[in-house]
Structure 1
């Protein structure tokens, strides 16, 4: 039995041992801005611009790269458009390349601005007092600061660190100085671009796919792209032939092919009005099947004359639910056979806090009609018998 180390190479000359050269390990580059590994399986994910929506996407903490999210909405409201504007604004702030389908480039003026942190509330809060006693087990973390302690990475305040999800204010508009990325309009899909006699020279969806293909091929490897498709098949934005299954389904399949090819740099978000194209139709069912994630927003009818909600002890009024939020399909998680949680959720929209999704709970029961009646004066006797 020879006593030779495992990491050495024995030469042809007896009695001579040549040490094996160590392989140079390539240095891992940090992820691009706005990208972080998922806490579930380390898959690179990006934010949708809505923190409450990021938490519902199968535990990935965001929208995984290489996936498509379909947002459906009933009625004449535009809550899905707000989600789409958050998604586009988040990409521009993070430095991503945003490709807009259907709308002209002036659509950028409707994007919400970045909310400024409230310095008054932070300054009014007293600073936490330092602990008198120190843990003996944490003596080796004392010289490294709070950022080295496991579990305290979220409390680290780094001025140069870019947040994963920004907060936006709908009352403001996104300033050009805050945009690190660019908005790229795609070829128009509207009827004015075609021959008024009805002789169509080509499909608008094919021109859009070719445009995206050229942009993705010419972009650097670490550049992130986002595709925004607002109000798919809306008659005022898309030509009549676009609603044909041979056109729209081929377009969705082509987007899916681009997502599979550029799965490290591309995401897509699509909105669809189910009031025009209901979910029980075969066309919408096929679109849902081709998309990786499917959610639906159902606005609740307004109740005129309803009493305002009671304010809390801090003086803030609780947010009233403005609609129901249904999660039908989760990216990647549903493709692996995982179930979707059936918990009923609601959403509410605020100008400063954005769209908040939370579990739905029934409002508190109102007072009985008997308690609303005026109290009888003292000394009055109750009536005998029953009044018909």
Structure 2
């Protein structure tokens, strides 16, 4: 066995002499030694690209955080995407996101000669106006109406203030809170109420009410959705800072340029603003001239609207309505629109026989009378991911005296027991032999 010195080179050659700054020799194909970091073209390009990617990721995360700071936005319950309310809490629920995700669209189809879809579209616009009135000079939202005149906003629904009893209680409480001679004269009653409150606090009688208020869902998003009264008008009405009206043009390019300029100008003042695009009565001959209903105009416009939604995916949402009597679902135009829109629902009013049956079954409870079915054709995000989310005949809508409601559908059962048990004169006609 022989031993060699540490500095001796194998093979008997001379030991290479290295200066203090001479680099260590590296054989071709071998890994670099400790402390060496050769700058190859690949690694240099990676180091140049990584900071940009990190910057883009940081900017996108800050943009999402600023969007979620908007009181009109909350994360989706399913995908956690930024979502805004449609103005109808029932419609928000059946969309499964608790609203419409930003960067997505909804197509409301309606059969028959009714106009229930306009109620949803006006509630959608009113919701955007109310988001601007949360605080003074808080411009959190903007509405764009395509194809109609400013007269359309005259029928926007106002806020629902509760039943008549609730309104009377609110007026009484407001009057009692004011300082007046009558309130001072009734100061003894106030002291008695204070003593009752102290006793209730001592024995924990009102602890249950406090826990229920704290556990109520949606407290963190109290301004996210409002309930509207379709019998009342929005007071005060919207101003130009709330709604912009864009007329129809002969070319798609002109309309898209107008939409883009309005969106960019609104986002300059507030990058986290929610832009609501409303298209009522899409392709209705009473609104759209013949050159705007041709396929060479409609299909490029639908593709351009989809492109705008993807371009401003953190700020823009779209809702449109179309009549199936003018454009049936079997037609190629409606089929392509359902493909290009991210979600679609169908309002199907009941025929005359079903309406008479429902009115007869609920003749003592008129508030339960429903007007038609809500069929879900396509849901945002979920349908694009391949989930079969088609629901026909599972939900029904009713346009009540105060609001537009959507609930689960069940065929009403007519109760004829009282009519069979009694005849004329109040005598029974059934055999009661035992």
Q: Report the TM-score, using the length of structure 2 for normalisation.
A: 0.66
Equivalent in the alignment of 2:74: 36
* Inter-partner Cα distance in structure 2 for 1:39 and 1:296: 23
Q: Are 1:185 and 2:261 matched, yes or no?
A: no
Q: Give, in angstroms, the shift of residue 366 of structure 1.
A: 3.6
Equivalent in the alignment of 1:213: 260
* Inter-partner Cα distance in structure 2 for 1:359 and 1:117: 23
* Inter-partner Cα distance in structure 1 for 2:119 and 2:94: 18
Q: Are 1:328 and 2:377 matched, yes or no?
A: yes
Equivalent in the alignment of 2:217: 154
Contact 1:49 1:166 in 2 (8 A): yes
Q: Residues 49 and 374 from structure 1, CA distance in 2 versus in 1: closer, same or farther, beyond 3 angstroms?
A: same
Aligned pairs, number: 323
Equivalent in the alignment of 1:232: 282
Equivalent in the alignment of 1:13: none
Contact 1:347 1:355 in 2 (8 A): yes
* Inter-partner Cα distance in structure 2 for 1:78 and 1:155: 31
Equivalent in the alignment of 1:6: none
* Inter-partner Cα distance in structure 1 for 2:427 and 2:415: 26
User: Within 5 A, what are the aligned runs for 1:72-87?
Assistant: 72-87=109-124
User: Within 5 A, what are the aligned runs for 1:240-255?
Assistant: 240-255=290-305
* Inter-partner Cα distance in structure 2 for 1:361 and 1:130: 45
- Alignment match of 1:163 (pick from 223, 247, 252): 223
- Alignment match of 1:64 (pick from 101, 105, 110): 101
* Inter-partner Cα distance in structure 2 for 1:165 and 1:45: 11
Larger radius of gyration: 2
Equivalent in the alignment of 1:115: 160
* Inter-partner Cα distance in structure 2 for 1:378 and 1:368: 14
- Alignment match of 2:151 (pick from 106, 109, 120): 106
Equivalent in the alignment of 2:87: 49
- Alignment match of 2:409 (pick from 348, 360, 363): 360
Q: Report the TM-score, using the length of structure 1 for normalisation.
A: 0.73
Equivalent in the alignment of 2:334: 284
Q: Give, in angstroms, the shift of residue 154 of structure 1.
A: 2.8
* Inter-partner Cα distance in structure 2 for 1:277 and 1:379: 56
User: Within 5 A, what are the aligned runs for 1:125-140?
Assistant: none
Moved over 3 A (4+): 24-30, 117-124, 129-134, 145-149, 177-181, 302-308, 375-380
* Inter-partner Cα distance in structure 1 for 2:412 and 2:304: 45
Equivalent in the alignment of 1:192: none
Q: Are 1:309 and 2:372 matched, yes or no?
A: no
Contact 1:92 1:181 in 2 (8 A): no
Q: Residues 227 and 41 from structure 1, CA distance in 2 versus in 1: closer, same or farther, beyond 3 angstroms?
A: same
Corresponding residue SS for 2:91: helix
Q: Give, in angstroms, the shift of residue 323 of structure 1.
A: 0.4
Contact 1:86 1:112 in 2 (8 A): yes
Q: Give, in angstroms, the shift of residue 118 of structure 1.
A: 4.9
The answer to which structure has the higher helix fraction is: 2
Between 1:60-69 and 1:39-48, the stretch displaced more is: 39-48
Corresponding residue SS for 2:362: coil
- Alignment match of 1:93 (pick from 130, 138, 148): 130
Gaps of 5+ in 2: 1-57, 133-140, 171-196
* Inter-partner Cα distance in structure 2 for 1:148 and 1:369: 44
Contact 1:37 1:44 in 2 (8 A): yes
